[in-house]
Every structure is written in structure tokens, then in C-alpha cells.
Amino acid sequence: MSEQLVEVLAIDGDLADGLDGARLQAARRNCVSPVLTVASGEWQPDGLESPDPGGFGLLLLSGFLVRRVGQGGRYGAELLGPGDLLRPWQTVGQVASIPFEPRWEAIADTRLAVLGSSFARRASPYPSVACQIAGRAMLRSRHLAVNLAIVQQARIDTRLRMLFWHLADRWGRTGASGVTLDVPLTHSLLGGLVAARRPTVSTAIAGLAREGVLQRTASGWLLRGGPPRELIDLTAFPEPVDLDPAAAPKALRQT
């Protein structure tokens, strides 16, 4: 772990929402933390020191981690990138009826801010920072829910297009040629993210490339066109229906 302290709010500016002027500058100076560096490859977070009960956890500043959970050679995968909050020491362990212990891998060199009790004390004069950090935990659960909705799609090519655009919303950059997603996603990893075998993923990606909507680049992927309709529909809910009291079942009628 690096002994050098970094200004977390200067790196992740969204955590400073609600602060401005002199108060923002003071928060940036005070909200500092040491940095944990993880090289590409398998990561054993149990090598960390005992978790700090007064801390928030680890905030991913740069790079990407993959969390795999499964049994019997079948795994589901979760991709974590800049802005995500994690507490890898929190697992179901031996208390679950079916224990699924995670495996971690850094797919790029990764930097994590250690938001321990010291950081929490320094951030305490700025309650909005703690609220933003709590929001990151909630956002992670929301992204997982979207991933669950994506894997319900019948066609693998649809799942992949939806996944790529969902990730592009988080970490993509728009340019003249399309949306660049600089994330080193292998076909095997994509299979874990969309619940498909690697050969099936490879076939689907080749088809998307022929259609001109997806292209492999030196650092990641290039998306062309717009997001598939199915991804837009994930947030579409039917309008509430006003019931005609006369047509409603007796149990719903007012007496």
C-alpha cells in the first residue's frame, strides 16, 4: 500500500457534489487516503490487513476488477471500474447454506483508495461526502440488476450489444467514429457477464462486427450506431391504469 496520500475528491469529483467554494477546497485537502495498487492478474484480497470497522471500504480510482462467483466450473462475473465501492472482506463465508466464495482478478493495473476510519474522520465535517459514498454502494446494486435483466434476453448478440452499451454509459467516450470503451474485455470474460459459453460469444461478436456495430480496438472496443431498443426498454414501465369503479371486481369497489 502506498504511503502517499491522494486527494480523493480531486480524483473522483462526483463525491464532492453539494460542496463549492472554500468548503469544497477544504474538503479536497482533508479527504485524503492511502492508495492500494493491484497489478494485472489474480488478486487475493484476503491478503489485506484486518478490515477497519470504522471505514467505508475501497474506492476504485482507475483500472478494472472482475469478481467471479460460482461452483463446479460455472461462474457469474461482475465488472467493477472507476467509481465503484467494494468491501472484498465481506463474503457469505461458511454461514450460507450454499457458500459461493468469490475470485478476484485485475484485468488492468488498478488503483484503490483505502477509505478507512482515518478518512471517515477527515470527511465527517462534510456529510454529503458520506452520502455520495453510500450512493455508490446503491449504484453498484442497480448495475447488477441491469445485468440480470440483460442476461434474460434470448439472443446472445442482443445480450452483448446491451452489455456493451450499458458499460459505455459508465466508462465510454464519445468521438467522431462512435463510442470508445477502453476496457480489456476478453471473449471469456464477456461470456461470464452475459451467461454464455466463450465459443458462442465469439460467434456473436463476429456477427456484430460484420453488421458494423462493434469493432475491436487496441485498447478495447468501438461501438457504432445507437443502443439496442431492449436496453432502452429496461427503464420503461407501463403507465398506471385508471380503473373504472363499475368494472372493477367487487373486492376493489368502494363501499
d(CA 227, CA 216): 17
Per the structure, the count of domains in the chain is: 2
pLDDT tens-digit readout, 146-183:
999 999 999 999 999 999 999 999 999 999 999 999 99
pLDDT tens-digit readout, 176-216:
999 999 999 999 999 999 999 999 999 999 999 999 999 99
Residues 137 and 216 in one domain: no
Question: What is the band of 237 on the pLDDT scale with cuts at 50, 70, 90?
Answer: very low
Residues 146 and 171 in one domain: no
Here the contacts of 230-236 (C-beta below 8 Å, separation 24 or greater) are 230/153, 230/158, 230/162, 231/150, 231/161, 231/162, 231/165, 231/166, 234/146, 234/149, 234/150, 234/162
Mean pLDDT (whole number) for 65-76: 82
User: pTM value?
Assistant: 0.85
The range of the structural domain enclosing residue 212 comes to: 156-233
Contacts with 170 (C-beta within 8 Å, 6 or more apart), sequence order: 81, 83, 143
Residues 110 and 198 in one domain: no
What pLDDT score does 186 carry? 96
Q: Three cell numbers at 154?
A: 434470448
140's torsion region: left (phi>0), alpha (psi -120 to 50) or beta? alpha
CATH of the domain at 178: 1.10.10.10
Q: Three cell numbers at 142?
A: 442497480
Contacts with 64 (C-beta within 8 Å, 6 or more apart), sequence order: 79, 80, 81, 106, 107, 108, 110, 183, 184
Residues 161 and 77 in one domain: no
229 is a domain residue: yes
32 is a domain residue: yes
Residues 108 and 122 in one domain: yes
Is the pLDDT score of 234 beyond 80?
Answer: no
Average pLDDT, the chain: 87
Residues 111 and 161 in one domain: no
Q: Identify each DSSP E strand in the chain by its residue range.
A: 2-7, 32-38, 41-43, 57-62, 65-71, 74-80, 85-86, 102-106, 110-115, 173-174, 179-181, 214-216, 221-223
d(CA 111, CA 235): 32
Residues 82 and 105 in one domain: yes
pLDDT tens-digit readout, 221-232:
999 988 877 666
Question: What is the band of 90 on the pLDDT scale with cuts at 50, 70, 90?
Answer: confident
